């Protein structure tokens, strides 16, 4: 009979230790070690699950098969995935409660259920069959061919999937699943890790594409062990402000496509609707021009995106002025203000500086540097910039404006939306003149500031 052994598992990183300690030895978090009871299994020989011995082969002798993508029926979701689902892949979708994760996947499976060859299976551990049915009716979905299973035990789920043989399966959510191999409670680090491992093993063995729904912590990261993101093939984050109807799906990890790819959806009374032209929703062309606003061209994944950057600079009554960046890196803003002082002769040490990317978009690339400083200059001087102006470029610590990737694609995106002028790094200036847009190449920060002040 297997012997029971007690371990202590960190609820943050999943590290196992034989003894309790106040601080985790791996991630240094305090009071995160919890007692878990595991069963010590009998040692097995070094054979695979099929009973055949493993063997070594030469890489150049392996026959490669053509990667067949399964279209989900949602163009924006396919775009984020890199062209569609890959058979045998495991996709982890995380997001805040109520953001629309279950709604998106129910819509996806309802479209896939219209094709019998996919035989999709929706597994939920959070809702009853009546609740799922009510949501489908409220959204007006055709779910006549969609199979539903309400279960939380992994062994039962895998046995059912083995019998039903679905090509696509949804697990909603991974934090509600548990396996009988462990004695710990549902949602614990060890249960989440082992349940995900069994599902990943099943997906690779049978070729079933699996969606895993994951909860997020109050810090915005996926709940459970960090190894969960390493086990799956793709990690998608569903983002959005509760005050707006737009939702953004971002690929954080993707073994079959580009990372940082964006998909944009709009929440309606009939579920999530795709936004085919994301740049248009982030531009407030119908509003009055105000100081501190400039349009930049970001490049997320494989798609250029026009977004509005706003800045508000005001005198600070406090000895330590505030620096607030929404949708941008806070530390990057502090560096840019120092460069603006040193190489642009504009001081903000006695002013509060607030910078925001309109629409809830998060921009992580350095191509936003020049747009941020021009928006700050516009706010300080109460200068209204032309609405047909776009800006992009990286700023170095020496005040130089460095080139960024995909400069020509960004200019073409701006031209497509009717912009007439663009301030860009000199190295990003196209060799041939563009017919509808005037390109202003700049080399130093002071040159860029002069070009908008005059």
- Rg of the chain over all Cα atoms, to the nearest angstrom: 26
pLDDT score, position 218: 63
Distance CA 449, CA 454 (A): 9
Dihedral angle sign, alpha carbons of residues 210, 211, 214, 220: positive
Residue 83: CB atoms within 10 A of its CB come to: 14
Domain boundaries along the sequence of the chain: 3-40, 69-276, 281-453
Q: What is the pTM (predicted TM-score) of this model?
A: 0.78
Strand-strand pairing, 16-17 and 3-10: antiparallel
Task: Spell out the per-residue pLDDT of the chain, length 454, in tens.
Answer: 455 567 788 877 777 888 888 888 888 888 888 777 655 544 443 334 444 566 788 988 888 777 788 999 999 999 999 999 999 999 999 988 888 899 999 999 999 999 889 999 999 999 999 999 999 999 999 998 899 999 999 999 999 999 999 999 999 989 999 999 888 888 888 888 899 999 999 999 999 999 999 987 766 666 666 778 889 999 999 887 766 788 889 899 999 988 888 888 988 888 899 987 878 777 755 567 889 999 999 988 788 889 999 999 999 988 899 999 998 999 999 999 999 999 999 999 999 999 999 877 888 889 999 999 999 999 999 999 988 999 999 999 999 999 999 999 999 999 988 899 999 999 999 988 888 999 999 999 999 999 887 6
According to DSSP, the residues that pair with 323 across neighbouring strands are 353
Residue 41: CB atoms within 10 A of its CB come to: 9
CATH number of 69-276: 3.40.50.300
pLDDT score, position 242: 64
In 3D space, the residue among 295, 277, 282 whose CA is nearest the CA of residue 422 turns out to be: 295
**Hunting for tokens 């070094």 — which residue is that?**
46
Distance CA 119, CA 167 (A): 6
pLDDT score, position 41: 44
**Hunting for tokens 């170095």 — which residue is that?**
396
Alpha helices in 25-153, H assignment, sequence order: 75-81, 101-112, 129-139
Strand-strand pairing, 3-10 and 389-391: unpaired
pLDDT score, position 281: 73
Q: Looking at the structure, give the CATH architecture of the domain made up of residues 281-453.
A: 2-Layer Sandwich (3.30)
Distance CA 94, CA 232 (A): 13
């Amino acid at each position: 009979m297997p012997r029971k052994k007690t371990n202590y598992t960190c609820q943050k990183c999943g590290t196992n230790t034989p003894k309790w300690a106040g601080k985790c030895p791996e991630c240094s978090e305090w009071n995160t070690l919890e007692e878990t009871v595991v069963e010590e299994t009998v040692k097995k020989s070094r054979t695979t699950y099929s009973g055949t011995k493993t063997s070594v082969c030469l890489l150049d002798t392996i026959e490669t098969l053509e990667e067949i993508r399964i279209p989900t029926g949602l163009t924006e979701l396919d775009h984020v995935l890199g062209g569609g689902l890959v058979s045998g892949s495991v996709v982890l979708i995380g997001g805040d409660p109520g953001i629309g994760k279950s709604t998106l996947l129910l819509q996806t499976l309802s479209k896939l259920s219209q094709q019998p060859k996919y035989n999709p299976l929706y597994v939920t551990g959070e809702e009853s069959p009546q609740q799922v049915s009510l949501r489908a009716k409220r959204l007006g979905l055709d779910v006549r061919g969609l199979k539903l299973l309400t279960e939380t035990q992994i062994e039962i789920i895998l046995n059912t999937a083995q019998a039903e043989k679905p090509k696509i399966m949804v697990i909603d959510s991974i934090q509600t699943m548990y396996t009988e191999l462990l004695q710990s409670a549902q949602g614990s680090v060890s249960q989440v890790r082992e349940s995900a491992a069994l599902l990943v093993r099943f997906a690779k063995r049978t070729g079933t594409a699996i969606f895993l729904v994951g909860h997020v912590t109050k810090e915005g990261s996926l709940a459970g062990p960090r190894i969960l993101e390493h086990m799956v093939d793709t990690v998608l984050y569903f983002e959005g402000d509760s005050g707006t109807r737009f939702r953004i799906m971002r690929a954080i990890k993707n073994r079959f496509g580009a990372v940082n790819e964006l998909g944009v959806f709009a929440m309606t009374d009939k579920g999530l609707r795709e936004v085919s032209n994301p740049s248009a929703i982030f531009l407030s062309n119908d509003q009055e021009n105000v100081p501190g606003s400039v349009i930049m061209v970001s490049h997320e994944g494989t798609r250029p995106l026009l977004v509005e950057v706003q800045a508000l600079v005001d005198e600070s009554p406090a000895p330590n002025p505030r620096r607030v960046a929404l949708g941008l890196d806070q530390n990057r803003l502090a560096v840019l203000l120092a460069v603006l002082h040193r190489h642009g002769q504009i001081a903000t040490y006695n002013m509060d500086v607030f910078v925001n990317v309109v629409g809830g978009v998060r921009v992580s690339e350095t191509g936003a540097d020049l747009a941020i400083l021009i928006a700050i200059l516009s706010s300080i001087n109460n200068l209204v910039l032309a609405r047909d102006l776009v800006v992009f470029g990286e700023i170095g610590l020496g005040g130089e404006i460095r080139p960024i990737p995909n400069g020509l694609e960004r200019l073409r995106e701006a031209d497509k939306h009717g912009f007439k002028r663009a301030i860009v790094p000199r190295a990003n200036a196209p060799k041939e003149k563009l017919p509808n847009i005037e390109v202003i190449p700049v080399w130093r920060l002071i040159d860029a500031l002069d070009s908008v002040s005059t």
